[in-house]
Structure 1
Amino acid sequence: MTTNTPAAVRAAFVTWLVAVGAGAFETVLVVASGEAGDGAAVGVAVRLTVFVAAVLVALRMRAGRRWARLALTVGLGVLGTLSLVLGPIGWLLDGNSLPDLVSSASALDLTFGASRVVHVCAVLAGCVLMFVPSANAWFRSRARARVAVG
C-alpha cells in the first residue's frame, strides 16, 4: 500500500475485511447449530474459498488495481448481496412478519441476524467508499502510473 492511499480506499479495505469476518462468523454459527445438514463440509469449503478470494482481491484493490474494485463491486457488492437478501425478502413477501420473527427468535437467531446486518452494511459501505471522488481520482492516477512505467 502506498502512503498516498486515500482514507476512503483504506476504509473500504477495512469494510471488506469486516464483511468477510461477518460471513465467517455466520458460517460458524450455522455449522455449530447443526442447521448446515449433510452438506456442511461442501458449504464451508465454498464459503472459505470465497472469503480467501475476497481478502486477496481486497488487497489488490487497496493497492490501486481497478479490476479488483470492479470484481468486488460485481462479485460481492451485487451478486453477494443478492445471495444474502433474496431469501429474507422472499420470506417477507410470503406474508411473514418481522416483529413475529423477532419475538420468537432464539439468541442464536438474533446473533445471526445481527451479523447478517453488519455483513450487508459492510459490503454496501465498501462499494460506496471505493467510488467516492478521492478514490476515483486515486485509482485513475494509479492506472496512469502503471501505464507510464510499463
Structure 2
Amino acid sequence: MGLSSRSAVAIHALTMLARWSDKSLTSAEIADSLASNPVLVRRILGSLRDADLVRSTEGRGGGWLLARAAREITLHDAYTAVEAGPVLSRHPHPPSDACEVGRNMQALLEAEFQDAERAMEERLSQTTIADLVQQVLTIERKIGRSAR
C-alpha cells in the first residue's frame, strides 16, 4: 500500500483529544486544527473507534473522547488503527527470472523492507500520545502561547 497521511491525521486527532481531555471535541474542531475536511476526520476517527482508541458521544455537547489514557496509546497503536498493509511498496509483479538481479531482488528487498518496518514499529511504540501533548505544551510555553 505505501505511505499515506492517515496516520498523521490520526495522531494529530488523538493528541488534540488528549490535550483537551476535559471535554469532547467535534470532528469539525479537529478538522479546523488540521486545516482539513470534517468528513476525512470522521473517517479517521471511525477507524480509531474500531481500534478502541476513541469513543463518541451523541447529542448536544457530543463529540469525541479518548477511550483510554493518553499514556496508554502509542503512535504505533494509532498507525495500525488507520493503515493497512506494508509501509514500503513491494514489486507490483514478479521481476524477470532471466536476469540475475531480477531473480534475486524480491528476496533481498523483502528482508530489507521487513527490517525497516520492524524498526519503524519499534520506534513508534516508544512514543505515547501523552508524550506528544507534553512536547506541544513545552513548545507553546517556550514561545509564550497557550490554548488553541
Flag the structure with larger Rg.
2
TM-score by length of 2: 0.30
Q: Which has the higher contact order (CA 8 A, sep 6+)?
A: 1
Higher helix share: 1
